[in-house]
Chain A
Amino acid sequence: MIYEEMTNNIRSVCEKLLNSNDVEVIVAYRGGGVEGMQIPYFAKTPEDVQNIEWGDRCYQNIAPYVHGLSKKVGILAKPCDARILTQYITEQQIKRDDVYIIGVDCVGMVDENGDPRPGCPDCMVRKPPIYDEYIKDDRVDSLDLSPPASEDGGLEANFERFRKEIDKCIMCYACRQACYGCYCKTCFIDRDLPDWQPAEIDAGTKMTFHMGRTMHLAGRCVECGACEASCESGVNVRYIIKEVTKFIEDEYGYSAGMDPEQVPALLVNKFDDREVGFLGGETHG
């Protein structure tokens, strides 16, 4: 019921937008995916608007489609998508004026079996941080949000867990492609000078890839869960970036994608930053 109402609101906003010729295309969702999933959709004409759908199965993040589009776009942005857009603006990948953001509240998405999408259960941001148009979902206010518990189980358990997840990985790079932040023209793992390209796909190269990717996303991850959601092998290494993100929030007070004016944590420095883990210094708790 609520979704129908929201869908109607979204459709009328989109129709107005396309009629006014302010945008060339609206990135949104439509129905018709396998097993009732809602899939990304590019609406280009006012007639297309009738295909747009909003529901609890808008599983896929659509903000990454905006990256690299050289036209004015409208986008239906759930909070994680809005955070991604904010982050793109911060990183000067898109201009704020080039996107018209239809922000929409989100109570969490589910997959084809009705299980929550990775990242949704412990999401703390249920309202889009930036928007031009706002579609409200009343249920969001009554949600009981509590920050996720730390998943650090001690060195040995951590290593065991990492190895177990790594074993499932087939190095297809779907996590990289699904990730909003992996927009490098050539990923480090595809480089041959210096040669990061693995010759043999073994546990070591898989670890290097996942650790390298995590390091590149440190402080930039918006915790949308797309990496885990896109992994067909069921690999979950998202807990690593989650821990790192939490650390950066506590240490440097930076949350990715919340404020377009703020500079990412690893792109600035302070003279009196703490030297946690340095020789003879404090250690990571």
Chain B
Amino acid sequence: MADPAVMISKAEILKMLAELMKDATVFAPASNGKKLDYMPVRNVEDIVFGDDIPYKSPKEIFFPRTEKIITFKDGDAEAEISTEKYVLFGARPCDLEALDIMRKVFTEGRFKDPFFEERYNNTLIIGVGCVDKKPGCFCDERETDMGYSDKCDLFLGAQGAEDYFQALHLSEKGRETLGRYIDGLRTFQNTGHEFKPAHTLSIDATEEELFDKIDWESLVETCQGCGMCTYICPTCHCFGFKDVDEGGCASRYRNWDSCMFPKFTLHASGHNPREERHERYRQRFAHKYLYVKKNFGAVACTGCGRCVRACPAGVNIKAIAEKIGEDLQ
């Protein structure tokens, strides 16, 4: 393998995606009628290039909003594992880093999740670099390089002059795809990429300190508890199960859940350990900045800024993390 970096044009990328569409579902940034979202596209013309970032993360491809996982019939249970082939095009570095955290959570923990793993393995992930920080983004403070991430099969650097992209293949799958669909590759000197994070936003505290020393109630007093942040977050991965009788058989569905909802922790006894909104927000924050870090070695917030932009009440996780940092000192 020589220098893995090549230059490919936008036309070539579109041609490649059109070819890939023949035997896989291609998810790419496209308009849902009002907002930019990772949508299954059937036509390459629908793909939106440019620096705008989709409003919701691509986690849905690997971990759908709703999914039938098991069917029970006559005492047998049968798991329904998807074997469909997917292509994810245009994932941003923040999404890629987040996806890697999701992968760790679902496949490297005590339990493996075959549903996620199978989808992840069957997906060709093509990342794209960002040119500018969008309002609310704080990737550089969360150690995410907006120009590059290696957590994908193929990475396209930011769009250069004349619609050319620097393409780096980072896996066998990516190399093979490039070789198959792009001919006459123009190599260029890969000068490497320099990335210096601004100051790093992280919380060095114990759980007890976070619980006792912080006045959560006044910190997130405007939160409405809508849960929007958890739904569009690239790393939020909580889910719930529901079994339904489907006449003669039963099915188990897995749906997204959100720690921002009071029912999330409601016990059968009626007791709710996190009854108040600020307690639930504390859980969300601690999960991202403490628990995942403890269990999987990475902070589960990549600074994509989606929750900051989406929050109708102006709750800003970056400002909150900074405030907590100050308060703990």
Contacts and interface: CB of A to CB of B under 8 A. Distances in A.
Q: Is any CB of A less than 8 Å from a CB of B in the complex?
A: yes
Interface of A: 32-35, 37, 39-42, 59-60, 64-65, 112, 164, 167-168, 170-174, 176-178, 186, 190, 197-202, 226, 229-230, 232-234, 236
A164 B33 contact: yes
A34 B312 contact: no
Interface in B166-204: none
A209 B222 CA distance: 26
Minimum-distance CB pairs A-B, first 3: A39-B314, A234-B34, A177-B226
B89 interface: no
Contacts of A234: 32-35, 55
A229 B312 contact: yes
B144 to A, nearest CB: 18
A42 B228 contact: no
Nearest to A37: B314
Interface in B231-267: 231-232, 242-244, 251, 253, 255, 258, 261, 263
B230 to A, nearest CB: 8
Given A35-B135, A170-B231, A199-B251, A230 B226 contact: yes
Contacts of A167: 32
A112 B308 CA distance: 13
Q: How large is the interface on B (under 10, 10 to 19, 20 to 34, 35 or more residues)?
A: 35 or more
Contacts, number: 107
B308 A190 contact: no
A197 B242 contact: yes
Nearest to A31: B314
Contact of A42 (B55, B221, B226, B232): B221
Contacts of A112: 135
Contact of A173 (B221, B227, B255, B316): B227
Nearest to B260: A177
B323 interface: no
B136 interface: yes
A174 B227 contact: yes
Contacts of A41: 222
Given A199-B242, A232-B35, 18 more contacts: A34-B135, A34-B136, A40-B314, A41-B222, A60-B312, A167-B32, A170-B65, A172-B231, A174-B312, A190-B261, A198-B66, A199-B251, A202-B66, A226-B312, A230-B312, A232-B232, A232-B310, A233-B55
Contacts of B66: 198, 200-202
